[in-house]
Amino acid sequence: MSTIFHSSSRRRFLARTGVLAIGSALPFDLAADAAAKKKEPVIDIHQHIHYHARTDEQMAAHQEAMGVTTTILLPSGRPANTASTHQGIANGLQAQAGGNAECYLFAKEHKKHFRFGACAVPDASDAAYEIEKYLKLGAVIIGELKFGVECDSPEMHTIYRLAQQYEVPVLMHWQHGMYNHGFDRFYKILEQYPAVNFIGHAQTWWANIDKDHTDQSVLYPKTAVTPGGITDRYLSDYPNMYGDLSAGSGLNALTRDEAHARAFLEKHQDKLLYGSDCEDIFGTVASGKCSGAVDIQTIRNFSVNKQVERKLLYENAKKLFRL
């Protein structure tokens, strides 16, 4: 576990990288506070600590550069060589992401601008205990659940019941053939747990905005979108289903068909949430390497009006997470 950084080391980092404005002598929380007063708030519901060895300093600087004022850190479960982790492939959420303790400690140290989630390999013997431990400490979400399990397995039902008990959302990474199997029958879970808010994320979730998406092995389709896919119906038909706009999958869903994206954002303006889920250290569109920054820009460009933009970047998450 890396050491939580202090203001002096952060200043050295910023001076070295040039990611943010040079010359700030304020501690992290004060600098972020000052910047937040000059811009509209943005909530990022999907970020990771130690993402592909990114340091704590780099992650915090990245979030500031994107203009994010509140970040939710999603932890990984503890390493396990089981079928549900594809014999270790999914450890660290397949991204070297930090676990519950790392997210909790960082968020506790920087509680003005960071929140944390709780996560565990669902079929681990202590999964429920591990998740509940961090829910009791203040975790605001369960996830990111990115494991090779059936979405309606007994182990997952245990997690859904915890979410119901602690009144927190569940964020699931849907990826055909790899993570969270049974997307087409997930409606049964939505109906069984109407008090639990679920957040869909990743390739299979976003590919299925398209009614004509039939080959589930295609994870990043580029064709025009025909409205009415499974994802579109889940968002329309179930009050407890939300969508996470993060990562390349979310960005691809918007950019593959601009006309559809504008209509989709307007239609589901109360159900979609901004997340970054990007691993770079820059946090800017100009770098050409930050999908999170491009996602913010795309949401602003494709929103039909300012009200929709603010819902997607801030208000929906504020309401859902009671921030």
**Domain residue spans of the chain:** 34-320
- For helices 247-255 and 291-302, angle between their N-to-C axes, nearest 10 degrees: 30
Q: What is the pTM of this model?
A: 0.88
Q: 210, 221 in Cβ contact below 8 A?
A: yes
**pLDDT, tens digit (0-9, with 9 covering 90-100), for 97-150:** 999 999 999 999 999 999 999 999 999 999 999 999 999 999 999 999 999 999
pLDDT at res. 39: 82
Q: 299, 312 in Cβ contact below 8 A?
A: yes
**pLDDT, tens digit (0-9, with 9 covering 90-100), for 116-128:** 999 999 999 999 9
Between 3.30.870.10, 3.40.50.720, 3.20.20.140, 1.20.1340.10, what CATH number should domain 34-320 receive?
A: 3.20.20.140
Give the DSSP letter string of 63-86.
Answer: HHHHT-SEEEEPPBPPP--SGGGT
Question: How many residues are present in the chain?
Answer: 323
**pLDDT, tens digit (0-9, with 9 covering 90-100), for 28-42:** 444 444 444 458 999
Average pLDDT for residues 269-286, to the nearest whole number? 97
- Asked whether the predicted pLDDT for residue 3 surpasses 50, the reply is no
